[in-house]
Amino acid sequence: MSALAVFLSAVGLADICRKLAGRQWAALVAGPVLVLAGALLAGLWRFGDIVLLILAAVAAVLWVHLSAVAERTGTREGRALTVFGGTVALLLVLAGWTSPVGGPVADWLHWVGLGDLGPDRAVMIFAVVLLQLVTANQLVRLILGAVGAVRPAGEPQPSDRLKGGRLLGPMERLLIVGLGLGGQIGAASAVVAAKGIIRFPELNAQRKENNGAGIDEVTEYFLVGSFASWLIAMAGLVLALN
């Protein structure tokens, strides 16, 4: 699944680039460049690798463009989600075409004493961790937009009444992935339970302050967003453990 790991890494880094630079063109260029860099560093140069990495580069560009359009307009979230999900599914189905990770990445892992981890698994863990940062937030927002729980950028959002979600989300997902990789699945489930307990007083306070008015959309935002975030973290964990 080396091509999938390269795709997820490229998308994760491109989304970070877009957020830091504030310019879409930078992320559009970054996607294919990072796919090429991943191919060079991982030694993926067989015919099957090249075909799948071209697909990954094109999908990375489409993802950046379509997700930015969806965020700006509040519509067409399904297109961005389809590109991302379809690419992941296709790269999984065609994973037999790809070569094992080698090249400088494998050499470096042996040099630092992580050779026993395995280059393929190490690269996938790296990709999954990157995914939990900005890209997962973007995926959650697209899912919320698809069900009508968020509005176009610039308009008041239900999230305005639930502070810290965009920061807590990545922290929560990284904690789930980290605990899962450490074999502490039970502790990871405790993180899920703790979020509901911590947020309940805040949701209850909103209901009292507004006499229940508008609280339904905040609750929907919280529940749909939380479950989407947990599913992304668990899906990443499954990839990292295989």
**pLDDT per residue as tens digits for the range 133-153:** 999 999 998 988 887 766 655
**Would you place residue 168 in the very low, low, confident or very high pLDDT band (cuts 50, 70, 90)?**
confident
- pLDDT at position 181 is 86
Mean pLDDT of 218-233: 82
- pLDDT at position 212 is 46
What is the Cα–Cα distance from 240 to 119, expressed in whole angstroms?
12
Per the structure block, which two tokens stand in for 105?
């990445």
What is the Cα–Cα distance from 104 to 109, expressed in whole angstroms?
9
Reply yes or no on whether the pLDDT at 182 is more than 50: yes
What is the Cα–Cα distance from 120 to 122, expressed in whole angstroms?
5
What separation in angstroms does the CA of 176 have from each of 31, 66, 128, 151, 226?
27, 28, 12, 28, 13
- pLDDT at position 203 is 59
How many percent of the chain have pLDDT more than 90? 34
Taking the alpha carbons of 225, 228, 233, 234 in that order, is the dihedral positive or negative?
Answer: positive
**Which range has the worst mean pLDDT, 72-81, 90-99, 107-116, 212-221?**
212-221
Q: What mean pLDDT value characterizes the chain?
A: 82
Q: How many residues does the chain have?
A: 242
Per the structure block, which two tokens stand in for 213?
């008015």
Reply yes or no on whether the pLDDT at 187 is more than 90: no
Per the structure block, which two tokens stand in for 49?
């690798």
pLDDT digits (tens, 9 = 90+) for 38-47: 999 998 989 9
What's the domain range around 222? 2-241
**Per-position DSSP letters for 176-242, written without gaps between them:** HHHHHHTT-HHHHHHHHHHHHHHHHHHHHHHHHHTTTTTHHHHHHHHHHHHHHHHHHHHHHHHHHH-
Q: Please give the backbone phi and psi of residue 154, each rounded to the nearest 5 degrees, phi first.
A: 100, -20
Residue 167: how many other CB atoms lie within 10 Å: 10
**Would you place residue 162 in the very low, low, confident or very high pLDDT band (cuts 50, 70, 90)?**
low
For the chain, how many structural domains are there in total?
A: 1
**Which range has the worst mean pLDDT, 10-19, 34-43, 88-97, 183-192?**
183-192
**Would you place residue 164 in the very low, low, confident or very high pLDDT band (cuts 50, 70, 90)?**
low
